[in-house]
Structure 1
Amino acid sequence: MECAGKGSRTPCGGPPTRLCHRCRAVAYCSLSHQVSHRTSHKRECERLEQQMKRSGVLNDFPFTFTQTATQIQETTCSFLAGHGIHHLGMWMCECSCGISSTFDNLRLTNCWNLPSDLCPCKGPSYPKPECMSTWKDYYEWRCIPLSSPAALLLHWPLTVYWAIQLATIKNLLPQISNELRIHYLGPEKELLQLAVFGELQALFPGVNVHIDLIGPAIQHLRDGEKTDLYTYAKCNEPDCECKSTFESHIERKTNCHSRAITLQLHAGFYHDCFGELIKDSPPHIIIAPNAGIAAYTSWLPTLEVIREIKVPVVFSDYCEEASHLAAACITSVTGAPPTIQIQINPFRQPIRVEESVLHLPCYPNCFLFGF
C-alpha cells in the first residue's frame, strides 16, 4: 500500500501508516501529506467508507485456506510454498519472485503439479448443474475438496463462464448452441497458464469455443499462434487415467470432428487489430479481465470501437473503487451507465492482492460489469 498523498510537493517521509479515520481505505506517510490530500480525498471518502463496509462479503470464501489467503500478512509465496507448488509450472507466475522465469518454458506447462484428487484433470463425473454460482458449487460438481488451491488458476475459465451467464441473463447474448467465439482483451498471467482454459470443455459441453486473446503483453513472435486444447490439464500422478487420453494437453490437431477449446494469440491493442478479427467471424462476446479502464488511456479508443461494433462486453477489476471509476469512463464514452451493473464475481481468485494503492480488499477478477 502506498501513501495516498504521494506526488505532493514534498517526498514521502516513511511508510503509509496513518489511515483516514473515516473510510480507513487510504493511508498517509505523514500528517502533512494527509492535510494536503484532504480536499481531493473528501470527494471519495464516503464512497470508500461504504465499500470498506462490504469487505466482509469479499473475504467470504468456502475454502479451508480462506483465513490465511485473505490476510495481508500471508504472502502469495508462503501460501504456495505451504501447498508444495511454489515455483512449479503454471504456478510460477502467481508470485512476484517467479515472474522472471522464461516465458517459453512456462507456456508449454500442462500440469497442475497436484494429486488427482485436488485438481480437475479429467472430465466431470456428471452433467453440470443448472445453477452453479459459487466456488462451493463448482468444487462439489468437480469432486474437489475445499482444501485444494486449484481455484487460484481456475478463476480464469470460471470468470469467462460467469461473464457469459451474466450477458445471457441480461439478454445481451443469445443462448449458446454449438459454437462460442470470444475476444479476450489484455491477457497477461493467463498467457502462462493456457492449459487451465481446457476446463471450458466441462463448462460448455459440446460447444466449440474459440478465444482470440488480444493484448500488448503478447510477444510479436507469437502473433497469430493457435493452440487447440482437447484435454484437461494433467495431475502429477503418473498412473492417473488423465495421462492415457492424449499425449499432450496443449497440442496442434487437425481433427475437426473433435470439440476443442481453440486459443489464438494476437499482439497489440484491440482498437488497432479488431478490423481483421471481426472480418470473417465476429465475436459473440468480448471479455476483458482485470481491465483497469480508468488507469490506462489506451482504453478510450477500445471502448469507442466496442460501442461501434455493438458486441456485448464484460469487464472485471480488482476492487469496487476501480470498477466505479471504470463505469464512469464507460458512461462518458457510451452516454449510458453499464448494462451489467457492478457486482461481485463469485468466481474471483481467492487470494488477496498483496500490493494495492487502497486498503480495500483486492482480488483478481473481483468485480464484474459490462454493456
Structure 2
Amino acid sequence: MMAIDKLSPEIFFGGIVKCAKALIEAEKNGTADTSEYDYSVQATCFVCRQPVFKVLRCSACKAIIYCGKECAAKHWKTGPPPVHKSLCSYNKRHMERREYYDSIVKSFPWGRLESDGTFNLDIARARFGVLGGTGTGYWSHRGGTVSHSHQTENHPEAYPSAVRELFSAFHHMDGADLLKSKHPTDIEGWKLEEAFIPYLNFPSAEKRPALLTSKLESWDAWYEWRKLPKASPAALLMSFPLTVYRLLVHCLEVTSPAHASPTKRRPLSIHLLGAEVELNYLPIFAELALLLPYHDINIIIFGSAPATLVAAAKSKPSSLVAKSSLSKKPTKLPLFEYTAPTECGGSTLAIHLCGDSTVWSQKTSSPFSAPDALIALNGGLGSYPEWLPVIQEAHRSEIPFGVSEYAEQSAEHTASMLSMRGAAAGGKQRMLWEYVLGIEANPFHRPGQRNMPAHRMPNHVNGFTIVVVKKD
C-alpha cells in the first residue's frame, strides 16, 4: 500500500484509470471474471469496524457483516444501538429490494457487479475517461479520500498534518465551474463521445426527442425517448433531474407532461433545498423543460453550498455567479436559462441561487416566487436538525414537499421520527407530524450500489422517494 504522503489526485485517479483500461481489455479477451479484476469493497465488521477478510453475515437477514460470532452475538443483544434483534426483520425486508436494484444496474453494459455484489462507480467512470476532480466537466467532484464533506476543516485536531494536506489536495468546491464566465457546451460538460450525450442544444433533428405526452417511468423509457444507447453512462448524472421529475409528477402530482398546452402554459416554481453536488451540473436540470412541455419553470436553489459559492464569486465579478447573484437590478438575473425547441413544447427554465441564507424559510425565499413544491435530493431529513423547521413550515403552509433518500431504512427512520414528534406534540400540532405519505423505490435512482462496507442493504444515490407533504 502506498504511503499516504506519496498519494496525489493524479496518482489516485490515474491508478483507477489504469485498472479500468485493463478491465476493458480483459472483457474483450473473456478473462474479466478472475480475481485480478475484482474491485469489491473492503468489508468491515459492523461492531468493531475492523477489516473483514472472511465475511460472516447475519444468517437471518443476510444484511449485516461481522468479523466473527463474538461480534455478531454482541450486536444481537447489546449493540451498538439499536440492537440487531430489533432490526433484523426490517433488514430482511429491505434486502428483498436487492434483486430489483441489481437488475437495473446490470441492464447497462457498464453496470458490472463485483464479487460481493457492489458496484464500483470510479471504475465505471474511468471506462469513459470522466474520472477526476475539478476540471472534469459535469463529472467534477470531491474525489479520492474526500467524497462528501471537508472532515479536516471541521475537526482538524483529529487528523495528522500529512492527512490534512492530502485532503486539501483533493479539495473541490461544488459549483467551481460556475465561477467561470460561461457555461460549458454539451460536449464540454459531458466529455463523452457524441453518441452518448443527452443534448440540450440539438445538432440535428435526429438527436431531438419527441414531444412528450405521457409520463416516463423507467430508465429504459428515458433512454428510448432520448435516442441514447444504454451504453451511455448518462444515467449516472441524469438521476438528479429525473428524480426531481419523478417527485413532481408521480409522488407530489403537482404537474405532468399533459398538464399544459400551447394555449395554456403552466408556470412552475421549485425550491431545491440543500443542494451540493447538483451545483456541478446545473445545466442538465434543463431536462425538466423537455420532460414537461409548455411549462415555464423556475428553480431556486438554497443551502450552504450555494451561499459559499456566492461568497466566492465576490472576488470574481465576471463569473456566472457574480453576474446573477450580485445584480443591482430589483430581480436577480438567472444563473442559467434554457428554452426547449418548439417541437418539444418550448418550455423555459431559469435557475437562481439564493446566497443570502443557508436555510430555507418563506421569509428567506421571499425575493422569489412562492414554491409549487419543495424538493431535496438525498436529503437526510432524519439526520440533520436543520430540517425540522422546514418540515414544520411546509406542513403549516401545505407546500408539497418531496425528498429522495439513499436507503429505505433511513427513509423509514425519518417517518418514525416525524411520528414520534407528532405524538409528543399532541393536540392540533399533531397534524403536522402524524404521517409521511409514502416511501417508494425510485426507478430513476443512480444505477449501482453505493460502497457500504459493513452491510449489504440497498443504498443508492436517490434510491428512495418520500412524500413529506402532499396537497389534498
* Equivalent residue for 2:443, pick from 320, 324, 346: 346
Name which one, 1 or 2, has greater alpha-carbon Rg. 2
- Please give the per-residue CA displacement for 1:158-189, whole angstroms capped at 9, x wherever unaligned: 111111112454899x9564211111111111
- Residue 360 (structure 1) shift: 0.8
1:51 paired residue number: 94
* TM-score (normalizing by structure 2): 0.65
Classify the secondary structure of the residue corresponding to 1:290.
coil
- Please give the per-residue CA displacement for 1:96-121, whole angstroms capped at 9, x wherever unaligned: 46863543643456311112221111
Residue 169 and residue 262 in structure 1: after superposition, are their counterparts in 2 closer, same or farther (change >3 A)? closer
- Residue 204 (structure 1) shift: 1.9
Classify the secondary structure of the residue corresponding to 2:365.
helix
CA distance in 2, matches of 1:186, 1:306: 15
After TM superposition, list the pairs within 5 Å mapping 1:98-113 onto structure 2.
Answer: 100=170, 102-103=172-173, 105-107=176-178, 110=184, 111-113=189-191
* Equivalent residue for 1:229, pick from 308, 325, 337: 337
CA distance in 2, matches of 1:56, 1:258: 38
CA distance in 1, matches of 2:459, 2:112: 15
* Equivalent residue for 2:238, pick from 138, 145, 154: 154
CA distance in 2, matches of 1:136, 1:73: 22
Instruction: Tell me if the contact between 1:90 and 1:193 (Cα under 8 Å) persists in the aligned partners.
Output: yes
Q: Does 1:120 align with 2:209?
A: no
2:457 paired residue number: 360
After TM superposition, list the pairs within 5 Å mapping 1:1-371 onto structure 2.
Answer: 2-6=44-48, 12-15=49-52, 17-39=55-77, 40-61=83-104, 62-68=107-113, 72=117, 74-87=119-132, 88-93=136-141, 95-96=143-144, 100=170, 102-103=172-173, 105-107=176-178, 110=184, 111-121=189-199, 122=201, 124-169=208-253, 175=259, 177-222=265-310, 225=325, 226-230=334-338, 259-266=348-355, 268-271=357-360, 273-278=361-366, 281-331=369-419, 332-333=421-422, 334-339=432-437, 341-355=438-452, 358-370=455-467, 371=469
1:9 paired residue number: none
- Higher normalized contact order (CA 8 Å, seq sep 6+, divided by chain length): 1
Instruction: Tell me if the contact between 1:63 and 1:147 (Cα under 8 Å) persists in the aligned partners.
Output: yes
Residue 293 and residue 148 in structure 1: after superposition, are their counterparts in 2 closer, same or farther (change >3 A)? same
Instruction: Tell me if the contact between 1:181 and 1:211 (Cα under 8 Å) persists in the aligned partners.
Output: yes
Residue 54 and residue 72 in structure 1: after superposition, are their counterparts in 2 closer, same or farther (change >3 A)? closer
- Residue 53 (structure 1) shift: 1.7
Q: Which stretch has the larger CA shift, 23-32 or 344-353? A: 23-32
CA distance in 2, matches of 1:358, 1:318: 14
Q: Give the residue type in structure 1 aligned to 2:229.
A: P
Classify the secondary structure of the residue corresponding to 1:208.
strand
- Residue 71 (structure 1) shift: 6.6
CA distance in 2, matches of 1:314, 1:70: 35
Residue 14 and residue 147 in structure 1: after superposition, are their counterparts in 2 closer, same or farther (change >3 A)? closer
RMSD across aligned positions (CA): 3.1
Number of corresponding residues: 340
> Which sections of structure 2, spanning at least 5 residues, go unmatched?
1-42, 78-82, 148-169, 203-207, 312-323, 326-333, 423-431
Residue 66 and residue 129 in structure 1: after superposition, are their counterparts in 2 closer, same or farther (change >3 A)? farther
Residue 348 and residue 70 in structure 1: after superposition, are their counterparts in 2 closer, same or farther (change >3 A)? farther
> Which sections of structure 1, spanning at least 5 residues, go unmatched?
7-11, 233-241, 243-256
Classify the secondary structure of the residue corresponding to 1:140.
helix
Residue 269 and residue 352 in structure 1: after superposition, are their counterparts in 2 closer, same or farther (change >3 A)? same
CA distance in 1, matches of 2:388, 2:395: 11
